[in-house]
Structure 1
Amino acid sequence: MTSPVLTNVMPFFTPASKSRGSYLRVHVCRNPLSDMRSDIPSCRTLNHQFKNTREVAAAITGLKLSKALTYLADVKEHKQAIPFRRFKGGVGRTAQAKPFGVTQARWPAKSAEFVLGLLKNAESNAEVKGLNVDELYISHIVVNQAPKQRRRTYRAHGRINPYMSSPCHIEVILSEADSTVKREDDGKKVARLNVRQVARNARKARLTRA
């Protein structure tokens, strides 16, 4: 089995052979809006269940980094659960899924532990790049299926069945949140009218002109 390798894929092209001068393309699902304000840790051929890791990634998308770290640590201790929305066949129900608006949830400790380590690695990379760690949030995270790893299991009457594993690729983009500036109050407030109110005002205007 190939062990997962944690890489930082900021260079979009990496030299494959200096003698031939060829290049090996490093595929990323999304390029950050700003390289100076983002960090992209990734992992290839991760020997973790694709379906479980995908649900973990979906649960933390858009969260602030500090909140995501706390959430995944709670999942490992079964204090909070990961809602299963897509790959939910045969998944049991639990009361911890109620805050997410679903009934099915689990505690995929192995996937949560790895994603937690990946986020901590990204946090360290962000500190090296001089980013404000307190303002980082998970702007993009994607989990893709990797080539299945093949084993075999021996059955009765001399048969052999495949015994496959489902590894995955994972990629995260951490970005600094934009600072929001409150609009200055100039005393001119524009009233927002719905369609019915606009029609009523138009009808009153026609009656007044008549």
Structure 2
Amino acid sequence: MVDVARETPARVAVVDDDDAARISLVRLLEVAGYAPCAFDSGAALLESTELPVLSCVVTDLQMPGITGLELQKALTARGITVPMVFVTAFGTVSAGVHAMREGAVDFLEKPADPGALLDAVERAVAKGAALATRAEARAANRRRVELLTARERQVFEGVVQGLPNKQIAAQLGIALKTVKVHRGRVMQKMGADSVADLVRCAETLGL
């Protein structure tokens, strides 16, 4: 259960064309300490200014216009990786499998058990926080890499590949002493205390 005393409640979008179901979900989330925002369609959510601050989306599957799966696809296409929880009275195994394959946290049947729904939302919010942390680390490391000169970038790539200084020097056609100087500058600019730190930086960037 989410801590009702949290200073900044997680923003959870509820998307459902059924007024009663939408209102019920919003009330449940409010009591649990979340900050829900309601939408009667997927299109309304996609047009909302709330998108950048959402921690989770709870959506119906079958809705007029944009379905829940289409909403999931549209968000992904925009580069928005907010975790989603599907709640539907008309779910199919294939739809559930597709939703989970695309990153959904859970796929629940209506009427969803309140405890199961809140558990799914809690897991989705936690997943969203982890994704945000990784995105922030990736952005910070990308900014650091941009500070490297072309030669420093080459040395950086050699180091994270596990190459010894001698081999890096031979590959780049420069003196061993020069490699050591560049390596020191790379460590400083990347804010790394060890080779392991550099490797982790490279991993966040997909290098």
TM over 0.5, yes or no?
no
Q: TM bucket by the smaller chain? A: under 0.3
Larger Rg belongs to: 1
Choose between structure 1 and 2: higher strand proportion.
Answer: 1
Structure ranking higher on relative contact order (CA contacts 8 Å, 6+ apart): 1
TM-score when normalising by structure 1:
0.22
With structure 2 as the length reference, what TM-score do the two structures score?
0.23
